[in-house]
Amino acid sequence: MPREIEVTAPTGRPQVSDIKKERERRRALGIYYTPAPAAQVLARWVIRSADQTVLEPSFGGCSMLSAAVSVFRALGNENPSSQLYGYDVDAKAFEYLEQVGIDNSAKQFRKSDFLRSQAGDIKVSSVLANPPFVSYHRLSSAQRLVAEKIRQLYFPKLPKLASLWAYFVLHSMGFLLPGGRMAFVLPNAIGTTDYGKELLRHLGTRFEKVELIHVGERIFVQAGAGERIALLLLSGYCPDTPDRATPVEVRYVTRVSEIEAGASLDPKAGSNSFVDLHAASHAALDKLVGNSLIELGDIATVQIGEVVGNIPFFVKTKLEWRVLDIDPRHLFPLLTRTAQLSGLSLREEDISARHSAIPRLLLPPGRRLPEKLSSYLETYGQAAVDANRTFEKRTTWYRCSYDTTADAFIGSLNHEYPRVIGNDAGISCSNSFYKIKFTDLPAFGVWLPLLSLSTPFRLAGEVLARIRGSGGFKLEPSDVRRLVLPSRLPALSDVDFAELRTKVDLLISDNKLDAAGQLVDGVVFLETGLIDADQMAAMRQNQLSLTLARMTRH
């Protein structure tokens, strides 16, 4: 793998600011250069003979190409340049070609967007790729137009929220010869998101074998990214077999080096054990819904929190607003992160405390702005106001809604469990949370933070979750509506309920999450007879297994 070019200070040492800028530039483009060991493993898998041809649709730092050259030479091909093709939009990528011994005099490596290219007379036997990791929400308008054309051309059923890498996978097939192979480094989203699963099913109609290998180690840590990855290995390209339904073979490894040795992360488990456990857990919950359990959406609404438009500008700590001399009458508490609260619920004392972690939202009056407020708002700049799509939708650009009627909040992104925060203080939250409002059985609103610790609720969260590269998970509003609650609440007096809540609060504060959950399970499900001890034990084991798998494998 070629050494990355660094901008150096007069002493010859890299300047920290330049390295940071370079990392930010790459992250903006979704660029994470593949470490040499991973590139070598994939190149050896995809190249089986000295006369093959290889396409790298986003060759970047040339680590994949460097590995390909090494494999070709090991097979007796000393000069494979004429068999290699590539595309990249980053000018820096072309600086590396000569360093890895590739002659580009025939212009087989083009400085252009692969997704805008046409195969023409380029047909290769192999594709070796680490495409840009750019989510749909970060795509420019131009990129979305190109992505939509590819979606319509190759797979119109692909959900429109697919990330950029999905279109690289689809478009690469247009360059592949029948019987060919493709190897991709991809985010773990390929196996966990709705669009990733749809893409895998589609690939099963085009290839004889589809392998998905989740890798535990974070191979892009040195590039400033915590993204865990999956390797997609596709062999036996059959473009004209739409009735094929090849199942996906799933494996988990701790390190990329284990792939060739065939070592599994869990030697005692089959390759599809995680998938099987996930399906069995889903089925077990479904059997209880309508009897022992109900879905949250049956008795409550779920809505996104306040869309502020620019959190750093409109949301600050009390001290920061004091420095700006903004009148507190125009400032309102807004929950923006779960870390701002340690207990089950937001209470008045959490908001009014002198050192409260809850920041304040600036909500100016609609008319007659005080001079200090007017001056502060003018610092945003008219051009920036005009460019903000959120502001564009408002009657008054600097005024968002502030609805305090939610019974509770739940984060869209979670880590240990789908944590619910009670809204006893009567405030609002940012759009990193969803607001839960009970339309029926209002007593559940008081219980919900406790119920979120229960095994059925946590198991439903694991089953419904979209797992992220960091090991955390994302819930959409539709997922939150499907989280499960007991079909009836225990008949506790106000005193007994307050005592239970205090005990659970103390356990959480002492980081005894499982103990808190078991206490809730006992009071809510076991003592009431809604779920028996054997059922609960099986559900708890499944929940713990899925949580562990998510946090260690994904």
CATH number of the domain residue 39 falls in: 3.40.50.150
Residue numbers of the domain that contains 61: 33-271
Ordered DSSP codes for 412-427: SEESSS--EEEETT--
Burial of 254 (0-12, 13-18, 19+ CB in 10 A): middle
Q: Is residue 38 part of a domain?
A: yes
Q: Is residue 352 part of a domain?
A: no
Count up the domains in the chain and report the number.
1
Q: Tell me the C-alpha distance between 69 and 75, whole Å.
A: 10
**Parallel, antiparallel, or unpaired for β 54-56 and 84-87?**
parallel
- Name the DSSP letter for residue 526: I
Q: What is the number of other CB atoms lying within 10 angstroms of the CB of residue 279?
A: 12
Q: What is the number of other CB atoms lying within 10 angstroms of the CB of residue 518?
A: 18
pLDDT, residue 184, reads: 94
Comparing C-alpha atoms, which of 289, 235, 340 is closest to residue 481?
A: 289
Per the listing, tokens 């908001």 go with 351
Q: Is residue 431 part of a domain?
A: no
Q: Is residue 494 part of a domain?
A: no
| Segment-wise mean pLDDT, segments of 10 residues, the chain, 554 residues | 30 37 43 65 91 91 83 89 90 76 88 90 92 87 94 94 94 96 89 88 94 72 53 92 82 69 36 69 91 96 96 95 94 93 88 86 88 94 93 91 96 90 96 95 95 96 83 89 96 94 88 85 95 88 78 54
Q: Is residue 529 part of a domain?
A: no
Q: Is residue 403 part of a domain?
A: no
pLDDT, residue 29, reads: 42
Per the listing, tokens 């007017």 go with 374
Q: Is residue 266 part of a domain?
A: yes
**Parallel, antiparallel, or unpaired for β 473-474 and 413-414?**
antiparallel
Helix (DSSP H) and strand (DSSP E) numbers for the chain? 21, 22
- 434 vs 244, 306, 351, 476, CA distance in Å? 41, 9, 19, 9
Q: Is residue 350 part of a domain?
A: no
Q: What is the number of other CB atoms lying within 10 angstroms of the CB of residue 541?
A: 14
